[in-house]
Amino acid sequence: MLGSMPGWPAVLADGSVLLRPYRRGDAQAWSEVRIANEAWLSPWESSPPGPWSEMNSVRAYNYVYRDMKRAARRGESMPFVVCLREDDGSERLVGHINLGSIVRRAFSSAYVGYWVDSRVAGRGVIPTALALAVDHAFGAGGLHRVEINIRPENGPSRRVVEKLGFREEAYHPRYMHIDGAWRDHLGFAMTSEEVAAEGGLVARWRRLRAKAG
């Protein structure tokens, strides 16, 4: 289990979507999903120092897991694996979401990053996961603000934050080295006050889905 800080570790769920801390035993499933989604994920992630297959191998997971565990223990992040719960009670690893670069005290903020298996994209998995993570950040996590930075060309990721009502507040030229070059990003943010009256972001997302039919 990762960490022992305010709001961490935690298990969050809504319907079939489950967020939980990473386990050492997730290595094979994580690697298989990452490698299968190279074409879907690689254009939007920080440039890897080696071939995708090596950077997302079972061996690489051990280093990723170690780094996540260390950051969580320091209170700098809350990394969740995103799973879908099957009818037989089993869990299928389908993504990742992290509340990272956590700064407390007067700032009380975090950056959020996420990815999802293309085979479940468009089914509301990541909007639900993000809503769960944000509500947790504003509740047990003791944070006031979350920020998400997305390349303008990344339509699927932008639709996630737009559906949930994140506020677009910045344009960051040459913000991060992605897919071999320094890429511009759009900055989106949300504070706890913006969803408090609605009972949280999960409640807002449920109402939006119900309205959409």
Q: Mind listing the pLDDT tens digit of every residue in the chain (213 residues)? A: 444 578 999 999 999 999 999 999 999 999 999 999 999 999 999 888 899 999 999 999 999 999 999 999 999 999 999 999 988 889 999 999 999 999 999 999 999 999 999 999 999 999 999 999 999 999 999 999 999 999 999 999 999 999 999 999 999 999 999 988 999 999 999 999 999 999 999 999 999 999 887
**Residue the block writes with tokens 């935690």:** 10
Q: Look at residue 118 in the predicted model and tell me its pLDDT.
A: 97
Among 3.40.630.40, 1.10.287.40, 3.90.230.10, 3.40.630.30, name the CATH number for the domain at 12-212.
3.40.630.30
Q: Look at residue 47 in the predicted model and tell me its pLDDT.
A: 80
Q: Give the residue from 194, 180, 111, 188 showing the smallest Cα distance to 157.
A: 188
Sequence-separated (6 or more) residues with CB below 8 Å from residue 64: 30
Q: Look at residue 207 in the predicted model and tell me its pLDDT.
A: 94
Domain ranges in the chain are 12-212
Tell me how crowded residue 193 is: count the other CB atoms within 10 A of its CB. 10
Cα R_g (the chain), whole angstroms: 16
Phi-psi region of 79 (alpha: psi -120 to 50; beta: other; left: phi over 0): beta
Q: Look at residue 1 in the predicted model and tell me its pLDDT.
A: 44
Percent helix, strand, coil in the chain (nearest 5)? Answer: 40, 30, 30
Q: Look at residue 63 in the predicted model and tell me its pLDDT.
A: 96
Q: Look at residue 49 in the predicted model and tell me its pLDDT.
A: 85
Query: By the 8 A CB rule, do 177 and 141 touch?
Result: no
